[in-house]
Chain A
Amino acid sequence: MTRSPRLSLYITMATFVLAYAVCAWQYPAMFSTRVVANLLTDNAFLGITAVGMTFVILSGGIDLSVGSVIAFSGVFLAVILRDTTMHPLVAFALLLAITISFGAAVGAIIHYLEMPPFIVTLAGMFLMRGLAYVLSTDSVPITHEFYDTIQDVYWKAPSGGRFRLIGGIMILCYIAAMIVLHRTRFGQNVYALGGNLATARLMGVPIARTTVMIYAIAGGLAGLAGIVYSVYTSAGYSLSTVGVELDAIAAVVIGGTLLTGGSGFVAGTFFGILIMGLIQTYIVFDGSLSSWWTKIVIGGLLFAFIMLQKALSWATTTRRRPATEFATRS
Chain B
Amino acid sequence: MIGATFRRITPQLIILGIVLLLNFLVFPGFFSIEFQNGRLFGNLIDVLNRGAPVALLSIGMTLVIATKGIDLSVGAVMAIAGAVAASVVTGGGGWFTALIAALAAGLLCGLWNGVLVAFLRVQPIVATLVLMVAGRGVAQLITEGKIMTFLNEGLIFLGAGTILGLPTPIIIWLAMGTLVTFVVRRTALGMLIEAIGINETASRLAGINSRVLLLAVYLISGVCAATAGVIVAADIKGADANNAGLWMELDAILAVVIGGNSLLGGRFSIVASLLGALIIQSVNSVILLSGMPPEFNLVIKALIIIVILVIQSPTVKHALYLLRASAGSAVPEAHAVGPRNSPAKETRS
Query: Which chain A residues (66-88) contact chain B, with CB distance < 8 Å?
Result: none
Given contacts A60-B349, A249-B125, A306-B126, contact A294 B296 (CB under 8 A): no
Contact, CB under 8 Å: A126 / B302: yes
Chain A residues closer than 8 Å to B188, beta-carbon distance: none
Q: Judge whether A284 is part of the interface by a CB distance below 8 angstroms.
A: no
List the one stretch of B18-26, B33-41, B220-228, B310-318 in contact with chain A. B310-318
Cα A292 to Cα B80 in complex, Å, equals 12
Question: Counting CB contacts under 8 A, is A233 at the interface?
Answer: no
User: Most chain-A Cβ atoms within 10 A of its Cβ — which of B125, B204, B297, B298?
Assistant: B298
A295 to B80, CA, bound (A): 13
* B189 at the binding interface (Cβ < 8 Å): no
Whether the pair A126, B301 counts as a contact (CB closer than 8 A) is: yes
Bound CA–CA A297/B134 (angstroms): 7
The answer to the question of A98 belonging to the interface, with a C-beta cut-off of 8 Å to chain B, is no
State whether A115 touches B313 (Cβ < 8 A): yes
Does B137 sit at the interface, judged by CB under 8 A? yes
B123 within 8 A of A: yes
- Residue of B with least CB distance to A238: B295
CB of A32, distance to nearest CB on chain B (Å): 28
| Given A131-B299, A292-B140: A62 and B122 interface contact (C-beta under 8 Å) | no
A119 at the interface (CB under 8 A from B): yes
When distances are taken between beta carbons in the complex, the residues of chain A under 8 Å from B299 are 126-127, 130-131, 133-134
Q: Whole-angstrom distance from the CB of A115 to the nearest CB of chain B? A: 5
Flag whether B345 is at the interface (Cβ < 8 A).
yes
Q: Is the interface of A mostly helix, strand, loop or mixed?
A: helix
Nearest-CB residue, chain B, relative to A261 = B347
User: Is A175 part of the binding interface, using a Cβ–Cβ cutoff of 8 Å?
Assistant: no
Select one of A119, A302, A329 contacting B201, CB under 8 A.
A329
B295 close to A134 (CB less than 8 A) = yes
Bound state CA distance, A133 and B292, in angstroms? 13
Which B residues touch A199, using CB under 8 A? 345
Provided the pairs A120-B309, A197-B346 are in contact, do residues A127 and B130 lie with their beta carbons within 8 angstroms? no
Question: Which chain A residues lie closer than 8 Å to B309 at the CB level?
Answer: 113, 115, 119-120, 123
A60 to B344, CA, bound (A): 16
Cβ of B158 < 8 Å from any Cβ of A?
Answer: no
Which of the residues A198, A246, A328 comes within 8 Å of B342, measured between beta carbons? A198
Could you tell me if B347 and A114 are in contact, using CB atoms closer than 8 angstroms?
A: no
Q: How far is the CB of A260 from chain B (nearest CB, A)?
A: 7
**A250 part of interface (Cβ distance < 8 Å):** yes
Taking the complex as formed, is A293 at the interface, i.e. its CB lies under 8 A from any CB of chain B? yes
Closest A residue, CB atoms, query B117 = A330
Chain B CB within 8 A of A162 CB = no
What residues of B have a CB within 8 angstroms of the CB of A171 in the complex?
none
CB of B2 within 8 Å of the partner chain: no
Say whether B45 faces chain A, with CB atoms less than 8 Å apart.
no
- A122 on interface, CB distance cutoff 8 Å: yes
With contacts A122-B254, A123-B302, A134-B295 taken as known, whether A114 is within 8 angstroms of B315 at the C-beta atoms is yes
Q: Are B134 and A296 in contact (CB under 8 A)?
A: yes
Check B349 against A296 for contact (C-beta < 8 Å). Answer: no
Q: Any chain A CB within 8 A of the CB of B135?
A: yes
Q: Which of A39-64 contact B (CB under 8 A)?
A: 59-62
Contacts of A328 in B (CB 8 A): 121
* Alpha-carbon distance A124/B254, docked complex (angstroms): 13
Is B236 on the interface with A (CB-CB < 8 A)? Answer: no
Q: Are B130 and A302 in contact, with the CB atoms below 8 A?
A: yes
Question: Smallest CB–CB gap between A204 and chain B, Å?
Answer: 14
Q: Are A130 and B346 in contact (CB under 8 A)?
A: no
Q: Across the interface, name the chain B residue whose C-beta is closest to A326.
A: B201
B129 close to A246 (CB less than 8 A): yes
Assess whether B348 is in contact with A117, with CB atoms less than 8 Å apart: yes
Inter-chain contact B138/A119, CB cutoff 8 Å? no
List the one stretch of B46-54, B166-174, B257-265, B324-332 in contact with chain A: B257-265
Give, as a whole number of angstroms, the nearest-CB distance from B274 to chain A: 18
Does residue B183 face the partner (Cβ distance < 8 Å to A)? no
Interface string of A169-202 (1 = CB under 8 A from B): 0000000000000000000000000101111001
Asked whether B253 lies within 8 Å of A310 as measured between CB atoms, the reply is: no
Chain A nearest CB from B82 CB (Å) reads 15
Q: Closest residue to B139 on the A side, CB-wise?
A: A292
Q: Decide yes or no whether B179 CB sits under 8 A from chain A.
A: no
Q: How far, in whole Å, are A196 and B342 apart by their CA atoms in the complex?
A: 13
CB-defined contacts of B163 to chain A, threshold 8 Å: none
How many Å lie between the Cα of A75 and that of B117 in the bound state?
39
Nearest CB of chain A from residue B217's CB, rounded to whole Å: 16
Q: Are A127 and B257 in contact (CB under 8 A)?
A: no
Query: Does A299 touch B at the CB level, under 8 Å?
Result: yes
A-B pairs with beta carbons under 8 Å apart, 21 shown = A62-B349, A114-B314, A115-B313, A117-B348, A118-B253, A118-B257, A126-B299, A126-B302, A134-B296, A197-B348, A253-B125, A261-B348, A292-B139, A295-B140, A296-B138, A297-B137, A299-B133, A300-B130, A302-B133, A306-B130, A310-B121
- Starting from the known contacts A198-B346, A326-B201, 11 additional A-B residue pairs (CB-CB under 8 Å) come to A116-B257, A116-B348, A122-B254, A126-B302, A130-B298, A133-B295, A250-B129, A292-B137, A293-B137, A295-B133, A299-B130
What 10 A-B pairs are tightest by C-beta distance, nearest first? A299-B134, A295-B137, A130-B298, A130-B299, A292-B140, A126-B302, A127-B302, A296-B137, A113-B313, A299-B133
- A residues with a Cβ closer than 8 A to B are 59-62, 109-110, 112-120, 122-124, 126-127, 129-131, 133-134, 137, 194, 196-199, 202, 246, 249-250, 253, 258-261, 290-300, 302-303, 306-307, 310, 326-330
